[in-house]
Amino acid sequence: MLTLFTTGKPFTGQIATTQRNALKSWKLLHSDVEVILFGDDVGAAEVCAELGLRHEPHIERHQSGMKYLNYLFQKAQRIARHDYLCYANCDIILLDDFYHAFERAASLGKRFLMIGQRWDTDIEQPIDFTDPGWRLAVRLHVQKSGFQQAMHYIDYFAFSKGVYDGVPRFLLGRSWWDHWLVWKARSLDIPVIDCSSVVMAVHQNHGHAYHPQGKQGTHEDLLAQQNKALAGKGKQLCITADSTHVFAGADVIRKAPPFRKFMVWTLPNLWMLLIFQTFWLRKPLGLQRKHLRKLAQRLHFRV
């Protein structure tokens, strides 16, 4: 019913463990799941043979070596065995709650896009997938030492085949393409379903040593700015707060309430701006940030 596809980095060092953890978790989502790994990166062919994944060695690259997103989406939709696909970054562990949410979304009988916030945590060792309790162990580890990222961190996109015809030539490894994918579905009046409340998608923390300016460079360098230009000069961008539907329980999907983005994204960010921009005034008045934080928590804001 579902084809997952991705591309990764060379399978060397710690990133090899990270990527193997992610890919194996996808393979175990359901007996009929198809997983496609694109790219001729070191170790990719061997991992695909070992885990029973479909390997597509060819992928189009920029002269810098960065991979083009449009090739992945075009090729995957053409060769996928199933009518529903999911692109996920190759460091994301997916658990059974993801597949359950996907089945519920697919049962609506319409074209859709399902997205969600990720959970960040450190996982440095190979997961023992022979242990029947591995999913629970991962979940407990994340609850203890991880946290759910903000609403603009989107690392997986489950969608109906045909939604993403004509993807611009975005480069992976740089910003903006993920938010464009959400905007594209919105622009087609396709339901965008936020499953953050019911899905724990686990992002295994890693560094950004591949960029000389680290993570900040992936947002701001020339290639990132080219991505931004392709996204309508930054105007064709949406996040999970822009979703048209939300999960209200594991089996219930409802239309997002009016003004949702203002309440869960705009207002909290305005609150943060107010806190930092008024420090010079709050200090002599004794309005310390810890007191404001308590008030914010009562109002269900995150600061």
Residue-averaged pLDDT of the chain: 89
Q: E strand or H helix at 255, and its extent?
A: strand 253-255
How far is residue 14's CA from residue 105's CA, in Å, rounded to a whole number?
34
Region of 109 on the Ramachandran plot (φ > 0 left; ψ -120 to 50 alpha; else beta): left
Of the chain, the percentage scoring pLDDT greater than 70 comes to 83
Place of tokens 């943060």: 272
Query: pLDDT digits over 190-235, tens only?
Result: 999 999 999 999 999 986 555 565 656 667 789 999 999 999 999 9
pLDDT tens for 226-258 read 999 999 999 999 999 999 999 999 999 999 988
- 268: pLDDT strictly greater than 90: no
Tell which CATH architecture fits domain 2-255.
Alpha-Beta Complex (3.90)
Name the residue ranges covered by the structural domains of the chain: 2-255, 260-298
A 10 A CB-CB count for 184 gives 22
Are 104 and 158 in contact, with CB atoms under 8 Å apart?
no
Which pLDDT score, from 0 to 100, does residue 220 have? 73
Q: Is the dihedral of CA 98, 99, 104, 108 positive or negative?
A: positive
Is the pLDDT confidence value at 43 over 60?
Answer: yes
Measured in degrees and rounded to the nearest 5, phi and psi for residue 248 equal -115, 65
Residue with tokens 């923390």: 205
pTM (predicted TM-score):
0.87
* SS3 (DSSP) at 209: coil
Which residue, chain included where needed, has tokens 């060092």?
Answer: 13
User: Do the Cβ atoms of 65 and 173 come closer than 8 Å?
Assistant: no
Q: How confident is the model at residue 302 (pLDDT cuts 50, 70, 90)?
A: very low
